[in-house]
Amino acid sequence: MIRNETHTIPGSKGRLMLADLTYNDADPNAPLIIFSHGFKGFKDWGTHHLVANYFAEHGYRVLKFNFSHNGTTPDTPFEFSDLIAFSENTFSIELDDLKYVIDFAAGGAAMPVAEKVILLGHSMGGGISIVKAAEDPRVSALITMASVASFRNLWPKQLEAQWKIMGMFYFPNARTGQQMPVKATLLDDIDKHSARLNVLAQAANVTQPWLIAHGTADTTVAVSHAHDLKSMQPNAELLIIPNADHTFDASHPYFKDSLPAALHQLCKRAVTFLIENGLKES
């Protein structure tokens, strides 16, 4: 039977991260997939629960979590109710958060120890997962979905001068109508840790099995990002899904009980990819 557990994990700057574990109780020690959401995302967005169920039904555990500064709180996991925290987020903070989640999974205090950890990241969470896979030997495999190949080309370069002068820039959230504030400390973080936060350079350092998935109709992160990542890491497998958009045709809210065809194709290939690389239940 597929089960779900809720956990609270200490994150960056003392903030708590809400997480949930999806697993088949027949496979309590199955390999663990850690899912990292993207910018303006959260663990319960759209089809994320269906993706978790799919992997659980095929012999994996899935731990999805909210980054500590993603704008949600443990009490309001479906809403961006803490825009102050959102404004203070940086890529280094998210990398620390992901480390804390891996520590939690490997510690075995609240759940069976994860001896095989697979990172699954979407969009900006894909970039975070790439950097973490390159620097953390505890990661056994990597799957990225519509991942960015750079943290810096998601906004016009000419915007940065004004952003730094004003100290804040607002990103519109079309779904909620909110103006999401981001401090210029995000840019400072990239400048200060330019080598670590160079996603393309880090891609070359990924030694684990890696599946790069992207849709040709992605207007948020162009499919060229996937080709750039593949060029930096030729050993990675590239899965291009025709006509799939940035979320592989998922949406929020999502009321159906089955995955969109493009997302189902991705998940099906991901399971085969993991099995082919020896990452399946014992």
* pLDDT tens figures, 162-221: 999 999 999 999 999 999 999 999 999 999 999 999 999 999 999 999 999 999 999 999
Give residue 77's pLDDT band: very low, low, confident or very high (50, 70, 90). Answer: very high
The contacts found for 25-28 with CB under 8 angstroms, 24 or more apart, are 25/1, 26/1, 27/59, 27/60, 27/61, 27/281, 28/61, 28/112
Alpha carbon 102 to chain centroid, angstroms:
13
**Structure-token pair, residue 257:** 């009980």
CB-CB contact of 215 with 262 (8 Å) = yes
CB-CB contact of 51 with 267 (8 Å) = yes
Q: 65-69, 72-76, 213-217, 276-280: which has the minimum mean pLDDT? A: 276-280
Give residue 153's pLDDT band: very low, low, confident or very high (50, 70, 90). Answer: confident
How is domain 2-276 classified at the architecture level of CATH? 3-Layer(aba) Sandwich (3.40)
Cα angle 1, 10, 114 (rounded to 5 degrees) comes to 45
Q: How far apart are the first and last CA of the chain?
A: 18
List the one residue out of 126, 135, 132 whose CA is nearest residue 229: 126
What does R_g of the chain's alpha carbons equal in angstroms?
18
**Domain parsing of the chain, residue ranges:** 2-276
Question: What average pLDDT does the structure give for the chain?
Answer: 96
Residue 86: pLDDT over 50: yes
Q: What is the pLDDT of residues 215-268, one digit of tens each?
A: 999 999 999 999 999 999 999 999 999 999 999 999 999 999 999 999 999 999
Gap between the Cα atoms of 236 and 281, Å rounded: 22
